[in-house]
């Protein structure tokens, strides 16, 4: 007989392995997007997700992916809830997630800017910080484009090794 806690843990492990559509080397657990998974007395699985970057179209895909995996694992009643408060910050990306980004040549975000209380601004505030090159570690890098293939990443170039690299913006 599976205990409620054991069952919730199993459901968590299934849900947490869903990759992020925009940063596929990261799982929802690495991103800190998966806030919780509970299994109700009637067997309904409730997974709570917090969307990442404002307007990221990836959220719909993540929701569908989590639901599909849980159904595939035998949970017939699945509910995905979106949690907007507290809002996601790039600080929630785990150490493991940052390691994976660097391993893939993508610079992880620095410390997120402090947020004022109240409504979350819908713009990504421009930040001025040194982004070390994920390949050679040099700090002599420049931003070549504020937006990369996806809005959550910027494009940089290393002046030391001359390699372009993507960088996940902090928010």
Q: Closest separation between CB of residue 136 and Zn ion, Å? A: 3
Decide: is 158 part of the binding site for Zn ion (CB under 5 A): yes
Dihedral of alpha carbons 104, 20, 16, 95, sign: positive
Q: Is residue 20 exposed (0-12), middle (13-18) or buried (19+ Cβ within 10 Å)?
A: buried
Question: Dihedral angle at the C-alpha atoms of 35, 106, 155, 113, nearest 10 degrees?
Answer: 40
Using the minimum distance from each CB to Zn ion, give the nearer residue, 62 or 106.
Answer: 106
* 53-61, 69-77, 127-135, 146-154 -> range binding Zn ion (CB under 5 A): 127-135
Using the minimum distance from each CB to Zn ion, give the nearer residue, 112 or 136.
Answer: 136
Using the minimum distance from each CB to Zn ion, give the nearer residue, 9 or 135.
Answer: 135
Residue 127: CB atoms within 10 A of its CB come to 16
Tokens of 153: 């990443």
Binding residues for Zn ion, rule CB under 5 A, total 7
Tell me, residue by residue from 128 to 157, as one string, x for binding to Zn ion by CB under 5 A and - for no binding.
Answer: -----x-xx-x-------------------
Put the strands of the sheet holding 78-82 in their side by side order: 34-39, 45-49, 78-82
Using the minimum distance from each CB to Zn ion, give the nearer residue, 90 or 141.
Answer: 141
Binding site for Zn ion (CB under 5 A): 133, 135-136, 138, 158, 160-161
């Amino acid at each position: 007989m599976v205990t409620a806690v054991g069952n919730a843990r199993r459901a968590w492990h299934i849900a947490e392995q869903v990759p992020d559509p925009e940063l596929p080397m990261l799982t929802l657990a690495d991103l800190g997007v998966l806030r919780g998974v509970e299994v109700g007395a009637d067997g309904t699985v409730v997974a709570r997700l917090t969307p990442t970057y404002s307007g990221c179209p990836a959220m719909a895909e993540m929701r569908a992916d989590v639901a599909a995996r849980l159904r595939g694992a035998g949970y017939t009643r699945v509910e995905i809830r979106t949690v907007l408060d507290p809002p996601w910050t790039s600080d929630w990306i785990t150490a493991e997630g940052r390691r994976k980004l660097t391993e893939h040549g993508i610079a992880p975000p620095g410390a997120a800017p402090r947020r004022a209380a109240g409504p979350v601004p819908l713009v990504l505030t421009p930040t001025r910080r040194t982004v070390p090159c994920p390949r050679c570690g040099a700090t002599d890098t420049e931003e070549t484009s504020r937006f990369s293939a996806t809005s959550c990443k910027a494009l940089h170039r290393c002046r030391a090794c001359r390699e372009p690299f993507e960088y996940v913006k902090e928010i």
